[in-house]
Chains A and B, each alone.
Chain A
Amino acid sequence: MATGERPLSPHLQVYRWQITMLLSITHRITGVGLSVGALVLTYWLAAAAYGPGAFERAQSFLNSWFGILLLLGWTFAIFFHLCNGIRHLFWDAGSGFEMSQVRASGWAVIIASVGLTVLVWAIGFGMMGGA
């Protein structure tokens, strides 16, 4: 197939950035990121099945600075993907297609996912520090 000679549509970089395209690609990036998270979940559950020693190592890995970074990224990814996923489901049901609604729901997703991430970590640290 001679794909080289076909006319190309303008490349992505000629477009001005808009919230709609930012959220669209972030949904995909968080989907792939959460798939990496599923590997970490597999490791954590397997470590628990292996025994107390392995589980302790898994817990202290997740409590290291790198583990905390992963968990922080995972928390934001799941909240973003979840909120934006609900936005997708509303579209699938046929509502929210006006451009003004699409932008408003997009901002709502950003605010909600950042807010929920901060909230969960505040509760988490509160429980550890307060305990």
Chain B
Amino acid sequence: MGMQSDLARVRHLGSAKEGTHHWWAQRLTAIALVPLSLWFIWQAISLGGLDWVAYKAWISHPANTLLMVMFVVAVFHHMQLGLQVVVEDYVHGEGAKITLLVLNKLLAVLLGGSCILSILKVAFGG
């Protein structure tokens, strides 16, 4: 015997109306970020003192282009999900909460998108 109403049991979505999707996406992006951030740190050590020409040579290498794009996607998706939980925990006014949650999503897409554009521009630019 469960504690849920029949409707809740049919929908399988719980009180947040989205089931386990948020939780699951947070874990998936976390798992992806383990190898990706270790790779990025390793690369960043050697990129530290480099000039633009060396950066272009690095980012133009297909493996580096791909991994940088994947790293950025994982970081911004994971960050958006994580900051959402922080906002939901600390911001109680409904208006302020919705505003911050929308802002969080928009900024994550905007900044993540601009990172990808920046990567591709140098990687494929003349």
Q: Do A and B come from one complex?
A: yes
Which residue of B27, B48, B52 contacts A48 across the interface (Cβ within 8 Å)? B52
Q: Is the CB of A55 within 8 A of B111?
A: no
Given A48-B59, A55-B52, A127-B45, A41 and B27 contact (CB-CB distance below 8 Å): no
**How would you classify the secondary structure of chain B's contact residues: helix, strand, loop or mixed?**
helix
Q: Does A100 contact B (CB under 8 A)?
A: no
Complex: chain A residue closest to B83, CB-CB: A35
Given A42-B111, A82-B33, A56 and B75 contact (CB-CB distance below 8 Å): no
Which residue of B37, B79, B114, B115 contacts A35 across the interface (Cβ within 8 Å)? B79
Q: Does B61 contact A (CB under 8 A)?
A: no
Alpha-carbon separation in the docked complex, A55 to B79 (Å): 25
Residues of A within 8 A of B115 (CB): 41-42, 45-46
Which of B1-9, B95-103, B118-126 forms part of the interface with chain A? B118-126
Q: Does A124 contact B (CB under 8 A)?
A: yes
Q: Is the CB of B86 within 8 A of A45?
A: no
Q: Is the CB of B52 within 8 A of A124?
A: no
Residues of B within 8 A of A42 (CB): 111, 114-115, 118
Size range of the interface on B?
A: 20 to 34
Q: Is the CB of B118 within 8 A of A46?
A: yes
Interface-centre pick from A38, A46, A52 (highest chain B CB count, 10 A) = A38
Alpha-carbon separation in the docked complex, A47 to B82 (Å): 27
Q: Is the CB of A48 within 8 A of B86?
A: no
Size range of the interface on A?
A: 20 to 34
Q: Mark A77-111, 1 if CB is under 8 A from B, else 0.
A: 01000100110110010000000000000000000
Alpha-carbon separation in the docked complex, A41 to B117 (Å): 13
Q: Is the CB of A89 within 8 A of B30?
A: yes
Q: Is the CB of A89 within 8 A of B37?
A: no
Q: Is the CB of B76 within 8 A of A38?
A: yes
Q: Is the CB of B41 within 8 A of A120?
A: yes
Given A42-B114, A48-B122, A123 and B45 contact (CB-CB distance below 8 Å): yes
* A contact set with B: CB distance below 8 Å: 28, 31-32, 34-35, 38-39, 41-42, 45-46, 48-49, 51-52, 55-56, 59, 62-63, 75, 78, 82, 85-86, 88-89, 92, 120, 123-124, 127-128, 131
* A-B pairs with beta carbons under 8 Å apart, 15 shown: A35-B83, A38-B79, A41-B115, A42-B118, A48-B59, A48-B122, A59-B49, A59-B50, A75-B41, A85-B30, A85-B34, A86-B34, A89-B31, A124-B48, A128-B49
